[in-house]
């Protein structure tokens, strides 16, 4: 199994993102759902993915929450996506990440405390420091520079191009 830095070269602190890109395309996942996709959500034998959570931002803090509309669902797992996920898992073991549920703010009642208790899932993609991916950072420093590099959106201005030298990975 490759180390977090070994797969991208010496000195790199980023993890490549083939699994979420293919998951977004092949499974129809929203961004937060792809960031919250865990090993325990994938049933390779039944060829299905259970969409049970997303990584959500509340203010500036991350938490796990139900998918949009508070609706869990099952989606078919195409063989091409299953292959990509298996390859990703071979290179990068899923990482246990613990976040509060639904709201990261301190609970004010025992019922809130029980509902918001931290939960741990084995996420398929994380930041280099094994934390959940912040969608704002990802959009600004990975996704938009990749779109600009591909010519989908206008090129980024001046120094922004140099700042985004590791497109396709999350620092």
138-160, pLDDT tens digit by residue?
Answer: 888 888 888 888 888 888 775 55
The answer to whether residue 143 sits within a structural domain is no
Whether 10 maps to a domain, the answer reads: no
In a domain, 159, yes or no: no
Please indicate, yes or no, if residue 9 is contained in any of the structural domains: no
Examine residue 104 and state whether it is found in any structural domain, yes or no. Answer: yes
pLDDT at 94 over 60: yes
What pTM was estimated for this model as a whole? 0.78
Q: Kindly indicate the confidence band of residue 15, based on its pLDDT and cuts at 50, 70 and 90.
A: low
Q: Could you list the residue range(s) of the whole structural domain that residue 50 is in?
A: 15-126
Contact between 145 and 167 under an 8 Å Cβ cutoff? The reply is yes
Phi, psi (rounded to 5 degrees) for 24:
-60, -45
Average pLDDT over residues 52-61: 96
Domain count across the chain = 1
On average, the pLDDT of the chain sits at 82
Asked, for residue 154, whether it belongs to a domain, the answer is no
63 domain residue, yes or no = yes
138 inside domain: no
Angle between helical axes of 79-91 and 18-27 (0-180°, round to 10) = 160
Residue ranges in the chain assigned as alpha helix (H): 18-27, 31-35, 79-91, 110-116, 135-138, 144-149, 159-163
């Amino acid at each position: 199994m490759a180390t977090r830095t070994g797969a991208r070269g010496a000195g790199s602190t980023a993890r490549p993102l083939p699994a979420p890109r293919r998951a977004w395309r092949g499974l129809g996942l929203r961004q937060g759902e792809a960031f919250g996709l865990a090993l325990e959500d994938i049933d390779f034998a039944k060829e299905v993915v259970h969409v049970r959570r997303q990584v959500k931002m509340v203010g500036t803090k991350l938490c796990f929450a139900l998918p949009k509309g508070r609706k869990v669902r099952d989606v078919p797992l195409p063989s091409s996506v299953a292959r990509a996920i298996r390859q990703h898992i071979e290179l990068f073991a899923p990482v246990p990440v613990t976040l509060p549920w639904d709201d990261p703010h301190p609970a004010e009642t025992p019922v809130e405390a029980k509902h918001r208790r931290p939960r741990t899932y084995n996420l398929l993609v994380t930041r280099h420091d094994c934390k959940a991916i912040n969608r704002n950072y990802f959009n600004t420093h990975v996704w938009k520079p990749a779109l600009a590099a591909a010519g989908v959106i206008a090129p980024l201005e001046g120094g922004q191009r140099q700042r985004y030298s590791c497109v396709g990975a999350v620092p």
